[in-house]
């Protein structure tokens, strides 16, 4: 069992590292930012929890150059299903994450969205 856990953890870290390298390439450090919201301490059987990801002023949701999809992530504990709500999210003025019923003892979820923001006038440009 410990060996299987080690292998699984190694694979997850490898995949996360590869996806972060591929996703991070199209954005410059000076124009990139993230924003997140969290639903926490959801008790077993409770559903319908949601949160709104704040959208920074003058920013647009970043697009992953490799997949052409919006650059967003959902981290969650086992035993809960979460997603960005298609009916409440337009990706320009509102981004809402929602979760189904918690099947575990207690569940948590974090919705993170990456943004590309214009530099303010007079800001130094990267070389």
The answer to the question of residue 123 being in a domain is no
Q: Is 127 a member of any domain?
A: no
Please check the confidence at residue 19 and state whether its pLDDT lies above 60.
Answer: no
Mean pLDDT confidence for 117-125 = 64
Residue 31 lies inside a defined structural domain of this protein: yes
In a domain, residue 125? The reply is no
Percent of the chain with pLDDT over 90: 65
Does any domain span residue 104?
yes
Domain contains 121: no
Residue 19 zone, left/alpha/beta (φ > 0; ψ -120 to 50; rest): alpha
Residue 17 domain-assigned?
A: yes
Which whole number is the average pLDDT over 49-60? 95
Sequence-separated (6 or more) residues with CB below 8 Å from residue 64? 22, 23, 26, 70, 71
At 106, which CATH number? 2.60.40
Q: How many structural domains comprise the chain?
A: 1
pLDDT in tens, 59-113: 999 998 899 999 999 999 999 999 999 999 999 999 999 999 999 999 999 999 9
CA pseudo-torsion sign 50, 55, 60, 61: negative
Structural domain harbouring 35: 2-116
* HEC per residue, 30-91: HHEEEEEEEEEEEECCCCCCEEECCCCCCCEECECCCCCCECEEEEECCCCCEEECCCCCCC
Are 82 and 100 in contact, with CB atoms under 8 Å apart? yes
pLDDT confidence bin for 46, thresholds 50/70/90: very high
Q: What is d(CA 124, CA 88) in angstroms, rounded to the nearest whole number?
A: 37
Answer whether residue 84 is part of any domain: yes
At residue 6, the pLDDT reads 43
What's the pLDDT score for residue 31? 79
- Tell me the whole-structure pTM to 2 decimals: 0.70
- Over residues 47-60, mean pLDDT: 94
Q: Is the pLDDT of residue 126 over 80?
A: no
């Amino acid at each position: 069992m410990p060996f299987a856990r080690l292998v699984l953890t190694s694979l997850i870290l490898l995949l996360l590292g590869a996806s972060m390298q591929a996703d991070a390439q199209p954005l410059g450090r000076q124009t990139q930012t993230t924003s997140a919201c969290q639903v926490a301490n959801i008790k077993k059987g409770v559903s319908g929890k949601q949160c709104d990801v704040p959208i920074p002023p003058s920013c647009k949701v970043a697009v992953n150059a490799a997949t052409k999809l919006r650059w967003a992530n959902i981290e969650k504990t086992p035993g809960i299903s979460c997603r960005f709500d298609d009916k409440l999210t337009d990706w320009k003025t509102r981004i809402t994450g929602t979760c189904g019923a918690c099947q575990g003892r207690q569940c948590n979820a974090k919705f993170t969205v990456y943004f590309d923001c214009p530099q303010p006038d007079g800001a130094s440009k990267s070389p």
